Chains A and B, each alone.
Chain A
């Protein structure tokens, strides 16, 4: 199987999930045989291409163009479609980043192909490659296979593979092959403007040793005070899953998950959080996870060390009382 990994960089800095995908691709090549190349796209990316060529792969495709300096879905799709048409990989793998969500389905469709996105793993058994992805917000997994002819396009979720397992070459470097693309400004319909962050973050949740996190189960904004009281009693900071911040019950800078902050505290106490994948990727590295949820099948229990199936409005007041007892 001939695999092409499309890496991601912005302003000369890697999106590190790229190396998780590289590790996944190396593993598939070890299992299924074949070859591996990787592409780096942008402008002034010589150093990145050189770094990539130190990894165990056969070739680095170096796609540099003024019009690829800033990401646009049109520019990336045109450039990468040409690369795929010319180098004819069987499988194209990408890290499932916000940028990849923005262009990879289009890239696949421009080749009349489909994409299996947001995979959490793969299996190679008896010559058959199966991708595993989550459905129903993480409540089920699904085994998915490609139909029809190559090339096939798939993306892997952040955290699905370990970047530190991406193998480097023991000696020498892989060849870096410049790949020329003909791009005209008229082909690019999006005009990318400046990047910015909202107001400086007031709390750095990544530094808090204890986090009390609230989800939909908290039901109403007036109940946030209860979680706040628990956070105070246990000596932690308050945070939340996305829906709570979408509702404006807590500010956006308190959000944990793929679109918020990624944390790994000593203790993560999840109150009424179901554990959708978008949330779990932001907290699964916590040392100890305790979860209170009324649904015993909630996916949060997949990652919890301690679980309580029950009504948080009964259990949290009891917890506060217990924590406030002298000991």
Chain B
């Protein structure tokens, strides 16, 4: 099985975010980046499918030079090789242009299966997998919690809302968006980190892919939302805070006895 897995690098969870000049993106200097957590589940699922069915796992990442860090992590965990679609300003892309770029970069790979995480923790569009399926003319399914492959078909467990699930069947080749929590992602081993140094990272400039510059939408500005609720902050030493909070919950809000 030849599996492509899309991994994105996003600001680290605890990174302090400030809006950059121009207002349409965050200030990237001085913050840490990490592999998008939902994509780590997709990568793990790709590695497990390879362990079960043999084949190859190719990590695909679009982003500036720093995205190579996420690629190296994927290689250290066990991906066989990687494709880096380089674009210093890729954060400006709308979901369709992003997906068109990835589709153009991988169309000759003829993957049996392409996996993505459910959404990115930065922009959170949650569209890449579905769009890749449409652009590459593949069937797809999203929010996947289990994958069973047999005889060129997959039986998949899809999560629906409110505790419901559904089984669906799909032929291969296909595209799947993986739900977080489907597995327990592995850590990279020292051996894996050493082995990754010899693995191939093919870099392709996004500008060379011939994807038309035809954005369908534009982020005009990002901003910290205005509070709609007045929060009463309680300060002091832990004991004082505890006494004040219990007092307020008991006698002001009257929600505990």
Cα distance, A201 to B246, chains bound together (Å): 31
> Does chain A have a CB within 8 A of B169?
yes
Q: B159 touches which one: A134, A144, A259 (CB < 8 A)?
A: A259
Query: Taking the nearest CB of chain B, how far is it from the CB of A299, in angstroms?
Result: 8
**Contact between A305 and B253, CB atoms less than 8 A apart:** yes
| Cβ-closest chain B residue relative to A102 | B142
**Contact between B127 and A191, CB atoms less than 8 A apart:** no
Q: Which residues does chain A contribute within 8 Å of B162, judged by CB atoms? A: 261-262
Whether A310 contacts B238 in the complex (CB less than 8 A), given A105-B130, A322-B246, comes out as yes
> Does chain B have a CB within 8 A of A304?
yes
Q: B131 touches which one: A109, A210, A216, A260 (CB < 8 A)?
A: A109
**Contact between B222 and A141, CB atoms less than 8 A apart:** yes
**Contact between B160 and A195, CB atoms less than 8 A apart:** yes
Q: Which residues does chain B contribute within 8 Å of A317, judged by CB atoms? A: 238
> Does chain B have a CB within 8 A of A143?
yes
Interface with B: A19-27, A86-94, A287-295, which one? Answer: A287-295
**Contact between A147 and B232, CB atoms less than 8 A apart:** no
> Does chain B have a CB within 8 A of A218?
no
Q: Which residues does chain A contribute within 8 Å of B171, judged by CB atoms? A: 189
**Contact between A117 and B170, CB atoms less than 8 A apart:** no
What's the interface size class on A, roughly? 35 or more
> Does chain A have a CB within 8 A of B150?
no
Q: Which residues does chain A contribute within 8 Å of B221, judged by CB atoms? A: 142-143
Q: Please, how many residues of chain B have a CB less than 8 angstroms from a CB on the other chain?
A: 81
Contact mask for chain B residues 105-141; partner A; CB cutoff 8 A; 1 contact, 0 none: 0000000000000000111111100110111000111
Whether A307 contacts B234 in the complex (CB less than 8 A), given A74-B139, A302-B225, comes out as yes
Q: Which of B210-234 contact A (CB under 8 A)?
A: 214-225, 227-234
| Cβ-closest chain A residue relative to B122 | A136
**Contact between B181 and A191, CB atoms less than 8 A apart:** no
Whether A114 contacts B216 in the complex (CB less than 8 A), given A139-B17, A140-B223, A143-B221, comes out as yes
Q: Which residues does chain B contribute within 8 Å of A252, judged by CB atoms? A: 181
Q: Please give 5 more A-B residue pairs, beta carbons under 8 A apart, in addition to A117-B127, A299-B225.
A: A98-B143, A190-B169, A198-B163, A302-B227, A322-B242
Q: 22 pairs across A/B with beta carbons < 8 Å?
A: A73-B130, A73-B141, A98-B160, A102-B143, A105-B134, A106-B131, A113-B96, A114-B215, A133-B124, A135-B222, A136-B124, A140-B225, A193-B155, A235-B257, A259-B159, A267-B255, A288-B249, A290-B249, A297-B224, A301-B227, A306-B234, A319-B245
